[in-house]
């Protein structure tokens, strides 16, 4: 399902004494977050005055947040972006848009269930699909993932033996 806003990260702590915050990206490369001008914090738009990658986090400085105490007050809050602002490659989508998506076997058309979880691993992501059985589907396009239609909220996958968690 195509969402209006996407959770892009979480403020995990303050950084230094000048009001910068550390943002843990939510499933994206930290550099991806630096492409955006406007974020949404508690539903209100904010434009960071500084936004750069530091290790696996993004450091941001927001207007009006000028010391460590003000930065610490933001700890635990989620940052969002508008979906329309994201310049994703054709066919790409955010993990949050996949949750609840109907998954079908590309060969038979049988409905396998819905995506309930997206886990990131070093090689690729894995989708947990729950229905009558539970399936773990590697997010490898053209091998396992045959098509994704956000508007129809449907994914077609190639099912291989051993993907269902109750198979030996």
Q: DSSP per residue over 96-140, as a string? A: HHHTT-EEEETTT--EEEEEEEEEE-SS-EEEEEESSSEEEEE--
Q: What is the pLDDT of residue 168?
A: 57
**Whole-angstrom distance, CA of residue 109 vs CA of residue 34:** 40
| Total domain count, the chain | 2
Q: What mean pLDDT is predicted for residues 49-72? A: 96
Q: What is the pLDDT of residue 2?
A: 77
The CATH number given to whatever domain includes residue 29 is 2.40.30.60
Q: What is the pLDDT of residue 40?
A: 97
Strand partners, 113: 103
Quote the mean pLDDT of the chain.
Answer: 93
Q: Are residues 79 and 44 in the same domain?
A: yes
Q: Are residues 19 and 72 in the same domain?
A: yes
Q: In terms of residue numbers, what domain contains 105?
A: 95-157
80-121 confidence digits (pLDDT tens): 999 999 988 877 889 999 999 999 999 999 999 999 999 988
**Whole-angstrom distance, CA of residue 37 vs CA of residue 63:** 13
Burial of 29 (0-12, 13-18, 19+ CB in 10 A): exposed
Within the chain, residue ranges assigned H as helices are 30-33, 68-72, 95-98
Tell whether pTM > 0.85. Answer: no
Q: Are residues 49 and 99 in the same domain?
A: no
């Amino acid at each position: 399902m195509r969402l209006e806003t996407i959770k892009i990260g979480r403020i995990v702590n303050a950084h230094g004494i000048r009001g910068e915050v550390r943002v843990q990206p939510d499933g994206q490369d930290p550099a991806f977050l630096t492409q955006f001008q406007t974020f949404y914090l508690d539903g209100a738009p904010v434009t960071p005055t500084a936004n750069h990658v530091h290790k696996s986090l993004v450091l941001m400085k927001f207007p009006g947040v000028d010391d460590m105490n003000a930065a610490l007050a933001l700890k635990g809050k989620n940052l969002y972006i508008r979906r329309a602002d994201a310049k994703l490659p054709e066919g790409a989508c955010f993990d949050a848009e996949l949750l609840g998506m109907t998954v079908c076997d590309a060969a038979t058309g049988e409905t396998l269930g819905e995506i309930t979880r997206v886990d990131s691993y070093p090689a690729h992501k894995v989708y947990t699909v729950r229905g009558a059985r539970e399936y773990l589907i590697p997010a490898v396009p053209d091998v396992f993932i045959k098509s994704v239609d956000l508007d129809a909220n449907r994914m077609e996958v190639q099912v291989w033996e051993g993907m269902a968690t109750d198979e030996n």
